[in-house]
Structure 1
Amino acid sequence: MAFLPVTREDMMKRGWDELDFLYISGDAYVDHPSFGHAIITRLLESEGYRVGIVAQPDWRKDDDFVALGKPRLAVLISSGVIDSMVNHYTASKKPRSEDLYSPGGKSHRRPDRAVIVYTNKAKQLFKDVPVIIGGIEASLRRFAHYDYWDDKVRRSILVDSKADLLIYGMGEKPILEIARYLSMGVPINKIQNMRGTAFLARKEDMNGELRKFIEGEEDKPKKGYILLPSFEDVNWSKRKYAEAFMTQYNEQDL
């Protein structure tokens, strides 16, 4: 089985002039199921989508990001198999000397907070293309969370990255559903009923029942929403942070 396209030349050999999905990864491209980028891209390929991979792009320039052109449906982004900050630094916050997921073990081939950096770049270069983030870095930072490196509580990675949608956990099922909706012309901001996804929503765009619930005007809605403490609450109160974490943990599908 041939590798997925990583250059324009690879696309030309397949007779492609455009991708459906562009996958940006913080890891080197390894076509093996122990790597999330291999599973997700091959799964999309098996459904007939044209997928290309940009592995470890130079985030200081535009060239690597635009090398395969603008994708038709979406840009998919992951920092790799581990959080980019864990990848870069020891528990003592000292830089690591090697990166096991880069060619030759060479370190610093991805930026700190790679998902945020890659997504900001993709949003800048492909302004009207949906950007979907996933993988361990996005999954573990989807809510307000304590960041060891900054020694503070940070907002959801959706806020800093400005991604349109976040897929958390194992993303095989949701990515195929999302791909199907996108290929049908459904706008990304209308794909809000998918298990295993998270997105930012403006209060004015919510239905009246949910909006009143969030504002504290009504009790729990009929549909069974759960309201977590706000970022401001978990930022200032350790008890509220613990309550939020306990709720998140108890609501996981294990």
Structure 2
Amino acid sequence: MLNLSLYFLVYCTYLVHGKLNSCDVAPIYEGFDINSKSVPYQAIITRTHTRYVSGTIVNKKYILTAAHIVMHHKNHTVKTEGLEVLYGYDHPCVIKSSLWKKVDQIIPYSNVHSMENDIALLKLADEIQFSETVMPVRIPLVEKDYEGLRGFASGFDQGSCRIKGTNLKVLKYGSSASLEQGAEEIWGGSFTMEENGNQVLIGLISSYSKRNLNFISVAKFKDWIEEKIQDGEC
């Protein structure tokens, strides 16, 4: 893949997709658009169609995302009213509302929010129908040290209303993890690496600072994720 630089004002949000693991201000963006076939696991999340953020399909009922983008920031409530998900479309902002999928339940890892546990599952009201443009990603089987390796960050770009992505390097991995800059404000965006021919979800983009992007290590929550999503497995 190309190594590309991204430049942002305020908002910013060709790889081989993973095999089935189970049945404001627009940005100045010098990156590249990616279609739904490139990242079939990518989902878009909205509440009342006023703001759009990112999530990742993990099986036929569940979307994984950063907790702070779906929970109320003051009292950490988990109301599903108005919360909807879309996947499999390249231009989500022009898709009629009837095609968006209702969220039945928000399942945060913890109701006491912190940057260390900023992860949540969305259980959909209806099952996802898989196709070449809609597939789940794998979650890591074991936790590894990814420091210094490069992966692929993707998510929803609010300014262009497209899914975009770029290659980024892991700067730090451990109790806290960070990436080099290049995908600011794609809240809940996916960060994947290819392992044994599959795209594996290494992390979820959570926040950013002046020097780096912070991401949540998915492997740390593997047991919790597997327990919660059992009813969505094939």
* TM-score class, shorter: under 0.3
**TM-score (structure 1 length as normaliser):** 0.24
Q: Higher strand share goes to which structure?
A: 2
Which one has a bigger Cα radius of gyration?
1
**Higher RCO by CA contacts (8 Å cutoff, separation 6 or greater):** 2
Q: Higher helix share goes to which structure?
A: 1
